[in-house]
Structure 1
């Protein structure tokens, strides 16, 4: 797969898009408009309300019951539609409304009401006025209700629109069987056999929050009691829909679409914002030439079932057969986004949650897929050499170029270009593994085939073999001084093999395709660390450490640094990185073995062995899973004034050249302040006699984050000393902050 960087093509593309937008701005096809609609005057609205009030005597309603105009729009044949909320003592009764049709003179033609001011289930006219316990003076104020919902749904979210809280009366609605249906078997019930009954009312706040949390919109409506702050009900206010896509490569898959104006669209605003279309999208390039690619329009369909699951036959690009390519594109795009976000905390391709799109059906004889850094999008061509280019690993590969483009910017030449291409190969394999194992969770599972492009090949012959790149006849298996002289698609080979060994391990059997003669230490078959850890290390190195000119040697060093930071100095993961690069002739091999660990029972799996702590600090907690294993240390989290401690005493060897303390830390907090540290965790060092020697770090509610982060702190200045490491938490009188510690390690 090739990355496209032609500025001439980019200019043509930009001009084409500008023309398309200009046409849209000029109106496009015109439709006949109805005569201008004039809203009712205040006098007309007041007259309408007076007419409705005149009917109260027949409904058992008194003067405390009123109406407020919510919206109005034109009806048929010159009529006007008014929608009014029902009120009690000036407060809206939630879900109780009237829709009133009037003629041009304001006369009422028809009234349709959802009347929840009376106990409809009993068929009586008992009104809300008959429930004197309803007090419309709130005890809980609006901001407190908003804060409660924000804390419960997205405490770290950013408000896309200002939150609101409306005082309402919340009817407590139950469903009962209608007369005559009391003894019907459940299987025989008809919708009309159940009726609503108002069991009571509660003064409440209707809270609406429109936030972005971790790159995804969190639009929540909630009902919060205005008397005691309980959440009575809540629901998602973002109206996305899940469709069914008949995929060529993944069977029937659930694809995220939206519904508007009577059609379904391959548009997903929950995965990215901004960008060309304002959200994730798949479009029909409609055979626009690859020399001047145009994205075309977003796919639409009358029903939310897409594609026929068959290879494209050259007919319509937007019929069922043409939609199949779009299904695969959207499925791959969704899984790439989710794999990045859920496992790496990386939002969209640029980490900034900028939405991207894929345009399918480019050209008519174009057997290629590419990522375009100008539009930051992807194109899938139409040709005859492949069954279709929308397999999970191909899409993950091309979108991987977008990640590199937004982060390290590895130059696409020489060894550096090989690393660029290798990152995309690796990304494609990890997206494939993620998607084929359900497309959920915060870890990359096993399950990919380690053969890039196997699915798209009519013969089943892949484009790359990750474990033995030279099987294609041109790629290299190991580094050599001439590696930088060949095409990046082939100089990627050694790094691809390195990653396979890092994840899956190697073979000690000479002649086996997974054998490396460069592994000379014990054991001759290195141990792998699995997809998830291998990808975390590789992703971290590319996005946080690689530069545009990183070569294989530099990549090895920065991969080892990443492993040390994630899993500890000289950890088995760091050793595996060293051995995996040694296996492709980058650096010397080392024995696996077990490094000398200073901290005892750093993962707490042996309970309190080696540790001194406050009561109920070390254990298994339902509120928080351990980083590894089943146990961890849980400090704070009480929401009241308290302190907690966790300590261990050890000696750092006098000849130590490094002494980095590493640990996994998760901070969760109900505090909402972005400025004040109300609750803290201090990591300090004391002498064996208890004399303070220094503070390594201090964390607080301001550092709260989803999941664990790996901390690395130097203790080299204390080498040759017996010291006590201390984790000490302090909480104030309200709003909990939890400090969860796991996998504490110090390897000299």
Structure 2
């Protein structure tokens, strides 16, 4: 039988992806790879602890400089988005799957029909906000499934008494799932000021589950930055009569077709206008001085803010493009714009996804807010929104803010000391907003100098304002780049001997890959550590100086262990497994611990993977009817961030399905345990890159050769004479290259044979005329054969022309 099969069969989900989001994929194989990844996700729902109500929506995909393709999928439940439920698929340059980044939420059993209408939930948010003026944009409402979480300390034994609690000692567990509305509001008016607030509103009771500030600003207390960059070259456009502050070489589409700067001319903060494009007669812009409040916004002094805004856009764009190969904020080259002179003496600057633009105030406590690190900070919010999309509250919100501080700082170093694809090590500094006034807003090397930010992680860091909870990650990045000393403001008690940094360039590349490849919307500090370790291994190799520095830098802020023994962590987790129940729904459980932290536990029955759990206490439920009655073995495997694996001692358990729940007669009906006891063309059984399994990783693929062939598979079973029912089910996917709508060229026949091979009955015949876009379950009543030994027989026949593939999985014969 040929091992190279016919064309790829798409599920409904992946067909939609191919027609939509993936059509613009930059890598020639990206769409195919992400489609295949989507199929694997759907096929592995049971192993991932999900049920048939689970689905996935592609958020973004990319193929990186290593040739790896990554698909970021949003988890759906009965068509409703699961808050914080994400999966990132990874495929190597040869197209082989890599381990999944898994933040999926399990065991959801929820009615998704709300008691409140969307407008009622919006009214709840409106009453809480009590706005005095109009909204800048109409508030939006989306129905979501919200996991209500609680932090739990991992069992660590006696050694927990010997040291301070670290971020990797804490896991988050789901208390319950709640149907809610996610409400997003943007107030921008003179009465309310600029307030962007998000809510989670219970969709049945109207209770506010959570609300948080989502205005992505630089200042922790509504302040901003101002900075001048000397005499610079600006990209402009000559129209034939005047010059526009328009960058013709960066960005396309968007509101203006290119990156531009517009003048809001003190328009009220209620204004959602794009502003008036800046023009100049002699192509000499600005006077290099801070704006004088109340003076003309189009004279030389008023132009200065526009000069710095354009400089910030240019340098931020070039940084992401030249260093990381990212084409603009959204990765697709979409143009943005900057609005300057909003309102009067407005003391802030912010990024808005609604307009895909930057807005700068002229400042009152501070000078004009068009600083370079401000621009880089704010536009990096846009990059984050289109990659990890870190939720702007809790620990993930602190990481979101820190990400902008990190890249705002790196853009400053790049603009003033870098070139080409190298960031450089001079020209920048490690404070945020230092040119606004004599006192910086934040100190990356020692966050507590601002009087509010912590220097290290603690269990309460997620309760802080995100501009303060960003502090530990800012310091971690400083240590990663510049190292830590043994005394002074750049030292930490967690690294008494200090550490050596790896420089801006390597540190930034590790963080960017961690953000765009491994982080999800709910990533916390411990998750950021794991993501950064993985990124360092990808870029520089396991055990490299760069990976060691990541370990040490995170340890320097009380997140995980330091690098030990001059080599990678080689200590495997310890794990033990237990099983409860003998019939119906049974439970697999495991306890696991590690010197660094357990990242996941896998459960195997008779050597076949049945499911995974990433949260302690580790467990999964399982339908015993899919196993034959009798004795089986359970083992658990625990993994840590370094890839070490610990395997439990095998535990024996028995399955004894009663007649009320049914007894399974088919053995290895899902083909996950190899070919036994199937008979016939057993080479049809395998894990195929061209055809995904319905569940698990393996299936039976009959035909699909595009050549004359006959292929068969059968299994012999005995149905007891006392049976009251016998039901055969299997899942079938048919993919064909035939275009006819009238002639059956290739066929699959499903039959019942006796023990000698004589045909007793033909249950069904399928052909290329029955092609479908996904798996369909087929059901047949075999009660008439009780008291007999029969063969459940599949026969595929194919002609010499175009291929037809008959893919079979999860064959079951339930007898009661």
Name the TM tier (shorter chain).
0.3 to 0.5
> How high is the TM-score relative to the length of structure 1?
0.46
Give the greater-gyration-radius structure (CA): 1
> How high is the TM-score relative to the length of structure 2?
0.42
Structure showing greater relative contact order (alpha-carbon pairs closer than 8 Å, 6 or more residues apart): 2
